[in-house]
Amino acid sequence: MGWEAYLTAAVVVALLTALITTRVAPDMAFLGAVTVLLLSGVVGPREAFEGLSNPGVLTVAALYVVVAGIRETGGVQWISTRMLGRPRSLFDAQRRLTLPVAGFSAFLNNTPVVAMLIPAVGDWARKHNLAESKLLLPLSYAAMLGGTCTLIGTSTNLVVNGALEQRTGEGLMLFELAWVGIPVLIAGLAFLFATSHWLLPDRRPAAETLDDPREYTVEMIVEAEGPLVGRSIERAGLRHLPGCYLMEIDRGGEILPAVSPREKLRAGDRLVFVGVVDSVVELQKIRGLTPATNQVFKLDGRRSDRRLVEVVVSETCPVANRTVRDGRFRTRYDAVVIAVARNGERVDGKIGDIILRPGDTLLLEAGEGFVERQRNARDFLLVRAIEGAAVPRHDRAWLALGILGAMLGIVGVGWLSMLEGALAAGAALLLTRCLTLNAARQAIDWSVILTIAAAFGIGAAMEQTGLAHTIADGLLGLAGEQPWLNLAVIYLVTALFTAVITNNAAAVLMVPIAGSVAGDLGVSVLPFAVAIMLAASASFATPMGYQTNLMVYGPGGYHFTDYLRAGLPLNLVTAAVALAVIPWVWPF
């Protein structure tokens, strides 16, 4: 090996060490590693940043826009309620999530499946007081396991099968991989269910762990034509709201305190909630509930174009020591008071009748220009926009879900590539006004995109310098002439490379090596090809092992060591099953 290979090895080791031992942001760590390789001349600018033009990376970026359209129309809430239901325990929640995801991923590209469900799982977890960190890694792992069951389950399977057809003239049938994929799926999910309580972290947002957070009093009305009329509090999903509870119902002047979960909602019921700001934001998104104050319908523009803003009333504010109505709050600020927080006290009365005091924290519904106009004004001590608080356009939810379904169907039958389908769906969501341009721009998680793109650059350096080949040859030299032992080493090396240089790159690298090994031993290359498919499609031990692992990294609040703790034993379990089944189904 030349000095370039040694430098690349040192950079990879330093990268992994930084990710394991520090809390450095993954995108910064990967970009730093690629920068070192670029400045040292190991790779050129084209190879270093080729990932930014990779169809897989661009597809992930486009899918963020598609998912934003589903979220902005309330489709995420529909998915979390109808598809996932009400779990009775963590095990039940993981079962409800992973089984359908594995089924979908056997026939659909698992990237859009995971992208679609990340926000739905977050919403679902908050409603049922579950830690997202206990669910998002199982989501990614289930998608990867499901993809091992069919030839079209992952792009890696197709890449390896194409190389196999070139070499032998024959490939695998669509469902032939199920012979090994289904046992691997069953073993993998069983291991997850049995060990996730100990192996997965329990991390929750800081607001969920505070004993005495700032609480708002907010009133919502049950819409007469909405879907909540006739439903019980439990079925409506209003019983176990994180950081929020239903204090009472005002039903035509009759107060119902200590509301039973079996109490059925009626049209016009005025529901009084007490909760933290994030919970109040979620209340605004529930279809069938509207703020009790009718002032929100007198503001200009659509509700979906407005923002929720927190402000603190100052002593010099013109509305201080006056009621919201007498102070003509809406007219003065072009904003409406949705909720009031006052040192943890219950603020009685309708919103319009509340006397505002200096120091009160108000939650407002306002136009996009409110924050800029009031940021430096003396009327408020603090002005803070609440991110992700746009009111969904529920009337367009079915349209957005229909566009998503059409995208999956068209891509599934092969009329468009995944990238083309995602771009077309994103354009359709914008044209039908399910999504605004501003929301589309903000939807893309650039930290994930940059991390995946930089991983391609590092993989290119390992291939170009010969480092990957040297490592593979060294490990295969230990296997001797035993076919099964060589099969195990091929699987191990593929899994190792997948953990570092992405799955497709590892598979492409290993196919010619496996062909050479099979030729030297005088045995069939087919079991080795299947082993490469399984090892490259089921890499759980690092966030860069598969792009869905990277997609859940941030939302789940994970650390690099979380992947090692949960993914490494899962890798061993699935490898043991695969290596036992492959020679039996595809003899040497």
Reported for 14-23, long-range contacts at CB under 8 A and 24+ positions apart, including other chains, are 15/458, 16/500, 19/543, 19/560, 20/560, 20/561, 20/564, 23/559
Instruction: Tell whether 461 and 325 lie within a shared domain.
Output: no
Q: Is residue 260 one of the residues assigned to a domain?
A: no
Instruction: Tell whether 7 and 136 lie within a shared domain.
Output: yes
Both tokens assigned to 374: 């009031």
Q: Which of 440, 415, 417 is nearest to 428 (CA)?
A: 440
Give the span between the Cα atoms of 138 and 193, in whole angstroms: 9
Both tokens assigned to 423: 């771009």
| Per-residue model confidence (pLDDT) at position 209 | 45
| Per-residue model confidence (pLDDT) at position 565 | 92
Give the span between the Cα atoms of 567 and 571, in whole angstroms: 6
Instruction: Tell whether 7 and 118 lie within a shared domain.
Output: yes
**What is the DSSP annotation of 198-249?**
HHS-----HHHH-SS---EEEEEEE-TTSTTTT-BTTTTT-SS-TTEEEEEE
Q: Which of 222, 426, 207, 389 is nearest to 310 (CA)?
A: 389
Q: Is residue 157 one of the residues assigned to a domain?
A: yes
Q: Is residue 282 one of the residues assigned to a domain?
A: no
- CA distances from residue 7 to 35, 51, 67, 472, 490 in whole angstroms, order as listed: 13, 21, 40, 18, 25
Instruction: Tell whether 368 and 475 lie within a shared domain.
Output: no
- CA distances from residue 180 to 105, 149, 169, 531, 580 in whole angstroms, order as listed: 16, 7, 22, 10, 9
Instruction: Tell whether 170 and 76 lie within a shared domain.
Output: yes
Give the span between the Cα atoms of 30 and 15, in whole angstroms: 7
Q: Which of 496, 532, 498 is nearest to 513 (CA)?
A: 532
Computed from CA positions of residues 20, 25, 27, 33, in that sequence, does the dihedral angle turn out positive or negative? negative
Instruction: Tell whether 343 and 474 lie within a shared domain.
Output: no
Q: Are 147 and 546 in contact, with CB atoms under 8 Å apart?
A: no
Q: Provide the 8-state DSSP code for 253.
A: T
Q: Is residue 514 one of the residues assigned to a domain?
A: yes
Counting every residue written for the chain, the total comes to 588
Instruction: Tell whether 29 and 99 lie within a shared domain.
Output: yes
For the chain, the domain total comes to 2
| Per-residue model confidence (pLDDT) at position 392 | 63
Angle 584-542-527 (CA atoms, 0-180°, nearest 5)? Answer: 20
Instruction: Tell whether 381 and 501 lie within a shared domain.
Output: no
- Paired sense of beta strands 361-366 and 335-341, if any: antiparallel
For residue 261, give every residue at least 6 positions away whose Cβ sits within 8 Å of its Cβ, in sequence order, or none: 232, 233, 234, 239
Q: Is residue 233 one of the residues assigned to a domain?
A: no
Computed from CA positions of residues 491, 492, 494, 499, in that sequence, does the dihedral angle turn out positive or negative? positive
Give the span between the Cα atoms of 160 and 512, in whole angstroms: 10
Query: What residue numbers bound the domain in which 321 lies?
Result: 306-389
Q: Which of 531, 484, 216, 467 is nearest to 363 (CA)?
A: 216
| Per-residue model confidence (pLDDT) at position 240 | 67
Burial code (b: 16+ CB inside 10 Å, e: under 16) for 207-245 equals ebeeeebebbbbbbbbbeebebbebebebbbbbebbbbe
Q: Is residue 208 one of the residues assigned to a domain?
A: no
Give the span between the Cα atoms of 588 and 577, in whole angstroms: 17
Instruction: Tell whether 39 and 182 lie within a shared domain.
Output: yes
Name the amino acid, one letter, at 349. G
Q: Is residue 323 one of the residues assigned to a domain?
A: yes
Give the span between the Cα atoms of 457 and 32, in whole angstroms: 11
Instruction: Tell whether 317 and 459 lie within a shared domain.
Output: no
Tens-binned pLDDT, residue by residue, of the chain (588 aa): 688 888 988 988 888 788 777 777 778 888 898 999 999 998 888 888 887 877 767 877 887 788 788 777 877 666 666 777 778 888 999 999 999 888 888 876 677 778 778 877 887 887 777 888 999 999 999 999 998 888 767 767 777 777 677 677 777 787 888 999 999 999 999 999 999 888 998 877 544 544 445 677 778 888 888 888 888 888 887 876 767 778 888 888 788 877 888 889 988 888 888 777 777 777 777 778 887 766 555 555 566 667 788 888 898 898 889 888 888 888 888 888 888 888 766 676 677 788 888 988 888 888 777 888 887 788 888 888 876 556 667 678 788 888 888 887 887 677 887 788 889 999 999 999 888 888 888 878 787 778 777 877 877 787 788 876 776 677 667 766 788 888 998 898 888 878 876 677 677 667 777 777 787 778 888 999 999 999 988 889 888 777 788 888 888 889 888 999 999 999 999 999 999 999 999 998
Between helix 467-476 and helix 446-464 the angle, nearest 10°, is 70
| Per-residue model confidence (pLDDT) at position 569 | 94
| Per-residue model confidence (pLDDT) at position 191 | 95
Give the span between the Cα atoms of 160 and 151, in whole angstroms: 10
- Domain final residue, candidates 352, 373, 389: 389
Instruction: Tell whether 20 and 158 lie within a shared domain.
Output: yes
| Per-residue model confidence (pLDDT) at position 212 | 46
| Per-residue model confidence (pLDDT) at position 77 | 65
Q: Is residue 530 one of the residues assigned to a domain?
A: yes
Both tokens assigned to 195: 């060990």
Instruction: Tell whether 459 and 378 lie within a shared domain.
Output: no
- Domain final residue, candidates 339, 355, 389: 389
HSE at residue 200, side-chain half, CA atoms within 13 A, is 29
> The domain spanning residue 372 has which CATH number?
3.30.70.1450
